[in-house]
């Protein structure tokens, strides 16, 4: 892959609650210059960023707690609806892992349903925090999220572990499985510790080995904050 191909699937990320207007301005200027597919910011920054981004760059809002996902359904729904109103095109939302044998359960399905309903009109990326989960749980929660209408399953926040080769393999397999079983094309987002081109090339090779049809920004995203400096 070359730099332009990576930029075409990159979610350029700035997740700092205390980011100043100056820092957000610089972030937007870099995005306008290099044209990643999207920028990923906290929902409270969406309106500011929206006014400063060139047309054609999607805005992904991180909603509902990060890195620890919210459990309160009313608060979560209100936050999702607020992000959509503020101008988000996409929503990244953590489904918080629970250290119980029944995870994921009906309770988690209810949260996923709220994510899907609250993010109406937006692409929904469900963050599953794979570093905290067993393989069985990664598969189970990925299947539940995709069945509930998530457009992407996302490896992790990067705050409680990084995306491993095994995580990439499992998520690609589950996205392919969903397409075979349900006839629906969905995507995956790999994030957490992806800093250089070699990381991207390695992970993309793993994904394409599972399904060569997973390519382009509607099927695969790379989430990173420092990768831009490496590829440009």
Q: Which of the residues 11, 92, 199, 211 is marked catalytic?
A: 92
State yes or no: is 189 an active-site residue.
yes
Contact 129, 157 (CB under 8 A): yes
Q: Which of the residues 123, 125, 154, 176 is marked catalytic?
A: 154
Q: Which residues of 48-76 are buried (b: 16+ CB within 10 A; e: fewer)?
A: bbbeebeeebbbbbbbbbbbebbeeeeeb
Q: Is 33 exposed, middle or buried (0-12, 13-18, 19+ CB in 10 A)?
A: exposed
Compute the distance between CA of residue 101 and CA of residue 27 in angstroms, rounded to an integer: 42
State yes or no: is 73 an active-site residue.
no
State yes or no: is 154 an active-site residue.
yes
Furthest-apart CA atoms within the chain: distance in Å = 48
Q: Which of the residues 11, 189, 199, 211 is marked catalytic?
A: 189
Q: Which residues are catalytic?
A: 92, 154, 189
């Amino acid at each position: 892959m070359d730099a332009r191909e990576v930029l075409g699937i990159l979610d350029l990320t700035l997740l700092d609650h205390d980011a100043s207007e100056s820092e957000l301005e610089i972030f937007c200027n870099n995005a306008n210059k290099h044209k990643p597919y999207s920028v990923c910011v906290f929902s409270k920054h969406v309106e500011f960023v929206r006014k400063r981004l060139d047309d054609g760059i999607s805005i992904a809002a991180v909603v509902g707690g990060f890195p620890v996902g919210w459990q309160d359904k009313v608060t979560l729904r209100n936050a999702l609806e607020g992000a959509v109103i503020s101008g988000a095109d996409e929503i990244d939302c953590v489904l918080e892992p629970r250290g119980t044998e029944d995870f994921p359960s009906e309770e988690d399905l209810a949260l996923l349903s709220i994510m899907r309903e609250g993010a109406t009109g937006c692409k929904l990326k469900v963050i599953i925090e794979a570093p905290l989960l067993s393989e069985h749980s990664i598969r189970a929660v990925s299947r539940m999220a995709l069945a509930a209408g998530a457009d992407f399953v996302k490896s992790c926040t990067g705050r409680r572990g990084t995306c491993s080769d095994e995580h990439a393999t499992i998520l690609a397999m589950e996205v392919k499985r969903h397409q075979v079983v349900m006839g629906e094309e969905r995507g995956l987002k790999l994030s957490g510790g992806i800093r250089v081109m070699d990381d991207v090339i390695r992970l993309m090779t793993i994904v394409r080995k599972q399904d060569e049809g997973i390519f382009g920004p509607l099927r695969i995203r790379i989430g990173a904050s420092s990768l831009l400096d490496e590829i440009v």
